[in-house]
Each structure stands twice: as structure tokens, then as C-alpha cells.
Structure 1
Amino acid sequence: MEMRTDALLDAALEQWPGFAADLGLSTNGWEVEPLARRDDPHHAVVLVKMTGPEGQALVLKHVAAPSDLETYARAMSAHQGAQKRYPEGVPALLSFDLSTQTCVMDYAEGRMLSLCLAEAGPAQRLDLLRRAGAWLDGLHRAGLGGPRQFQPKFTLRYLRQIREDVLAGRMPVAEPGRFCAAAETLLAREAEFSGQQTQAAPTHGDLHLRNLLVGETRIWGIDFAGGRMVPVGHDIARLLVDAAVLYADADEVPVGEVIPADWSAAFFEGYRLVGPEDPSVRLLLRHRMLAEWWGLPAFDEDRGPAQARRLRNLLALAPRIFG
């Protein structure tokens, strides 16, 4: 569903009077400022900052495509759960309409972590990773499920099936020989991750760098997609692998590791619930790198510039991680 930019914005603003009425707000005197949008054949999403006459700042978010009410309902539920557990790190979701996939939440002042890291020098990057770790530590502690025995067999069973599909030609990936060799290296290490304890907490579910907003004094998490009680390594791996694929220099990654040593030290200075030796962290960092690999288009002509850059960086990191 591809919409013209003005039509997408208009579709969002059409929902505003109903939300204003639900929230007991007048519709007069509000300033409209588009914040972000995505408008392509598969996604049509717009975020609009609404500033009231008395300075109240809200965000109106409209998802025109994909139309998936069940997934949208889960996302709203996940946001509500995170907001209840961790209000100091999650902007308040004030109202939503499942039928139009539109919501209103408090405006969170900040810039996407991805942009902050792109512009930061080495010392600033470490500070940003430390702050991101502290935010995630707070989120996980707010809903902590306690220790549990980590069972890597489920993750590795899925990886084994992916590898078999690639070998059989049922699933195309870029550099299939290298991918299968890397997957086999990780599969052979199953015993290293078994029979150890990790911590479980409700997951963010989609914790890439664009879903953390960095303000002067705090970080905000947005666009929750999870809520299930899972090992904490899932969120950690999603965030750190996204950072590594975008910004890590392969020459600075120790052999056998996924991110530079100073990045790891900084992140886990902020995130104290578990350390880098936690079995879910060690396995899921490496598994997430492979998931990034198989998730990218297999053929050059199908990749956009951003996807091509991610694959190029990933392939540079792979020998350091998997040998």
C-alpha cells in the first residue's frame, strides 16, 4: 500500500479530533510538526508532533500499512505493559484505535540512538552504549522473572533448519557457503551454552538502535513488539548486533567476539543484571549476527544502499566472529 506523503499525513490528522475528544482536549490551537515517516510499497507510517496552545506535546502515530490488527494489538499491549513497569523509561501511551492503527502518546524529547552513534566520537560512543545499557537494565529489572536454566537447543534447532534449507537451495542467502560454515561453527558449540543459568525478563521485542531515543538526561524506549518472558540475551543481542553491523570496525573486534572490547565493557557497565559471559548473551549475539545475514536480500540487485552497507559490514565481521 503506497500512499503519497500528503495523503499519509492527512490520514493521520483525520484521526486527531477523535483522540482529542477522548483525551478531553480542545482541537483548537494545536501546531502540527511531522517527525518521521516511512512510505514505500510495504510500509506506510507517519509520526506527527502535536503541540498544544499551553505547550503540551504529544505524538500522533498512524500505521497505514501493513494492515495487521492482531500484530498492532500486541504492540499496543506490549507498550502498555512496559509503560506500567518502567514509566521513567517509556513514554505514556494515552490512547489508541485498533481499527485505524493509530495511537497518541506523550512526546519524548530525544534523538534516535542510531543517529547519535553515527555522529559520536569514540568516547561519546562508549558513553551512549553505557547509557543504553543502563536503560535496558532498568527495563529488565522492572519485570524481572528471576533466574532460569538456559536452553540453547530451541535456538540452535531453528538455526540447524535454516542451514539445511540453505544447503538444499530452498532458502537463498548471500555468500551461502560462508553462511553455512559460520552456522556450523556455532552449532558445534552447543555444549558451551547448555546447563547454565541466565535471567529472564519481558522482552522489548524489537530493540534496534532506532527504537531508543536519547535525551539530555534520560533515554526512552519506543515501538515495543514483545512482552514475553525470555532470556535477557534476546534484547541485548538485538541492540548490540545492530550497533556492530552499522558502526563497528572489524579490526577492533577481538577474534571470537562480536563487538569491540571497549564497547562491551561500556555497555555492561550500564547493564548490570548479567555480564558478557551470560550464556544467553554469548549464544544470541552470534545467532543474531546470522539472523541479520539470512534476513538480508540474497542478490545484489535486490538490495538497497542501506542493506548493501549492512551486508558489507557483516561480511567483514564474520571472520572475526566465526573464524
Structure 2
Amino acid sequence: MFTEEHRQALGRLLAAQGLSPDIPVADRMAGDGSDRQFFRFSVGDLSLLAVLPSPTLPLGMAEARAAHAIGLHFSTHGAAVPRIYGFAEECGLILFEDLGDTKLHDLVLLYGAESPEVDLFYREALAALAHLQTEASQDFQPAWCWDTPRYDRELMLTRESGYFQKALCEDFLGMNNLPRGLIQEFVFLADRALQEPADFILHRDFQSRNLMVHKGKVRIIDFQGARMGPLGYDLASLLIDPYAGLSLDRQQALLGCYLDALASHIPLDRGRFIEGYYYMALQRNLQILGAFAFLSKIRGKQFFRQFIKPAARTLHEHLAAPQGRDFPTLRAVVQQVRNLLEAHDQE
């Protein structure tokens, strides 16, 4: 709810920018997985977005402070993020540049994931990602992070592979007798992922619904969860994104495009990167499935339910690669997941 406290704070932020503090009626906008509150309004010819902290998240104010500090840092380093016009520390309101309504995912739906029009934006997004990951890692302060300061083993085991096990397998599908070897394989996966260099910016949700297309340019939003981490995770987030359903051939072509962009910023061993990318994509795929199951079943956000089967199919295909031989238990569990999802659809 946009309270009188928020209205007063917004008026002060507008006045500090030399804008009229007389605030017109704001339009409430829907979010995706987050329950932060978004309000769009105009001041003269300027369209702005006021974002309020989550009313249910205990660390909602910490998340807002992170979004402000990280957003300013990214802007300083030339990242393709929205301009921040101000922050009201007392209530957590952030005043952003409004980037409109067109997400990359909307263009995928309009033109098709494989269309030339969409391919250009994917390539631009990957160039923007490589810039963000490398250039904005300079002087990045882990103290800004509201969640964890870096992508680490505990996060992988609890909120990615553990998320998959609890939210999807147990809560969503009722798989209560999972094989004992599953946790050992999750530990192996996390330990292998930790071998990847991790001194780069990690957005952690770099997918087509967090990429806006504004005035013909790709812009990055929802960066409040950024921290230090490995390069391949954000790349995987975009390439295996179930919202878009990119073909394997398209994924390979875009991976090459990303590596070309990355090589313009840092020295790069392409073979090593590709080898490690397999495990980053596996971690991300597990996280996606856990998140979609949780959001659809626990949060009641049915929009996400339709993407569970495609994400499970991608995980199955990923485990069919040669590296998948190290995960026989997970492969069996994923096959059971797919069978149960099919059975649910037929009920």
C-alpha cells in the first residue's frame, strides 16, 4: 500500500531532483515472484517507478538498501541498469527510471525465440552481462549484499539443490522416499561448481523477464540479489531460461557470442569455461525447478506452473550429456519427476 509516509518520502525525493513534489495518482504494477510493490507515475514528461520493500520479507528493508547501493555502483561502472533518482532510507522507497513494459520475454512471445529480431537482443544482453560481470566487479562491496556476500556452498546445497528436493520433489510431487545417494551427488556438484573462479558479479536471476527492452536497448533489472560469484551461472540463467525455451543449437550459438564478449574484458580459457559451465547450468536448473514449484504451490502464483515441465525436460537433457554419468541417482529422480508431472497433467 502506498501510504502517506511513502507519499511524503517520494515528494522529498522529487524535490531533491528539482521536480514538482506534487505527486499524481500512481498506477500499481504487478511483480513476478517478488512481493515488492511497484508504482508508476509521471512528472511532466518523465516517467518514474517507485519501488517499495516487501511487506512480508523480514529483511525487506535490507533488500531495498542493497538494491540502492548496488544499483548506484552498477551505474557508475556503465552497466545497463535503470537510473536511480533517489532513496528514502526511512521507508525503503527507491525512485527508478521507468523502463516501460516490454520484457525480452514479451518479444520472445511476439516474434519467436529463434527470430532474427529477438536474436539481436539476446546478443546485446550477453554483451551487457559480460560488461556487468567484469567491469562492475571492481570495488564491489560485499557489505552491500542483503542475502549472502557471495555464491557459496551453503547456498547451493540449501537454496538450489536442496530447493529442488524440498519444494519440487517433496512438497509439489509428494516424493517422500528419495534415494540416499541424492544428497551425496548434490555435494559433489557443489564442490565441482566451487572450482570455478568466483571473483565476478553474479546477478543470480539473469533471465528474459528481468531484461527490459527500452527505446531499442536492453536494460537489466532485479539486481538487488547481486553478489560475487562465477561467470557461468548468469549465462546459464539466460540460455536455459524456461520462459524462452531456446533450442540447444541457439544456446550454443549464444554461448559463443558471450565468450567473444567476455574475451574483450578478461583473458579467457574457453575450454575450461565450457567445462565448468555444465555444472553452473545444472545448479541453475535445480534452482529454477525449486523456485517454480514453491511459487506455484506455496505462493499460489500459477503463472509459474506452466514452466515446470519444460525446466524438468531441460534438466533431463542436460543430465544425458557425458558429464551426467556422475549423477546416476539424480538422473533416476528426474525421470521420476517427469513421470509424475505427466501423470498430474492427465488427472
Query: Fold match, TM over 0.5?
Result: yes
In structure 1, the residue matched to 2:314 is 317
Deviation at 1:64, TM superposition (A): 5.5
How many pairs does the alignment contain?
297
Question: Is 2:96 aligned against 1:102?
Answer: no
Distance in 1, matches of 2:289 and 2:313, equals: 12
Q: 1:200 to 1:63 in 2, by over 3 A?
A: same
In structure 2, the residue matched to 1:218 is 217
Q: How does 1:47-126 map onto structure 2 within 5 Å?
A: 47-52=39-44, 55-63=45-53, 65-66=55-56, 68-86=60-78, 89-108=80-99, 111-121=102-112, 122-123=114-115, 124-126=117-119
In structure 2, the residue matched to 1:162 is 162
Q: 1:285 to 1:155 in 2, by over 3 A?
A: farther
Q: Aligned-pair RMSD on alpha carbons?
A: 4.3
Question: What's the TM-score once normalised by structure 2's chain length?
Answer: 0.67
User: What percent of counterpart residues are identical?
Assistant: 13
Deviation at 1:44, TM superposition (A): 4.9
Question: Is 2:123 aligned against 1:130?
Answer: yes
2:198 and 2:228 in contact (8 A); partners too? no
Deviation at 1:262, TM superposition (A): 3.5
1:47 and 1:61 in contact (8 A); partners too? yes
1:220 counterpart SS class: strand
Deviation at 1:132, TM superposition (A): 0.8
Deviation at 1:79, TM superposition (A): 1.1
Q: Which moved more, 1:7-16 or 1:218-227?
A: 7-16
Question: Is 2:8 aligned against 1:17?
Answer: no
Distance in 2, matches of 1:299 and 1:77, equals: 28
1:316 counterpart SS class: helix
Distance in 1, matches of 2:211 and 2:5, equals: 26
In structure 2, the residue matched to 1:148 is none
Q: Which moved more, 1:282-291 or 1:300-309?
A: 300-309
1:317 counterpart SS class: helix
Q: 1:204 to 1:296 in 2, by over 3 A?
A: closer
Deviation at 1:288, TM superposition (A): 0.8
1:58 and 1:105 in contact (8 A); partners too? yes
1:164-191 deviation per Cα after TM superposition (whole angstroms, max 9, x unaligned): 975xx99535374998788876766678
Q: How does 1:188-207 map onto structure 2 within 5 Å?
A: 198=197, 200-207=199-206
Among 224, 234, 248, the residue aligned to 1:253: 248
1:9-60 deviation per Cα after TM superposition (whole angstroms, max 9, x unaligned): 98865543222222232235x76663733499x82512314232xx344333
Deviation at 1:228, TM superposition (A): 2.9
- Name the structure with the higher helix share: 2
Deviation at 1:317, TM superposition (A): 2.0
Unpaired runs of 5+ residues, structure 2, are 139-150, 321-347
Question: What's the TM-score once normalised by structure 1's chain length?
Answer: 0.71
- Name the structure with the higher strand share: 1
Q: 1:280 to 1:34 in 2, by over 3 A?
A: farther
1:129 and 1:267 in contact (8 A); partners too? no
1:65 counterpart SS class: coil
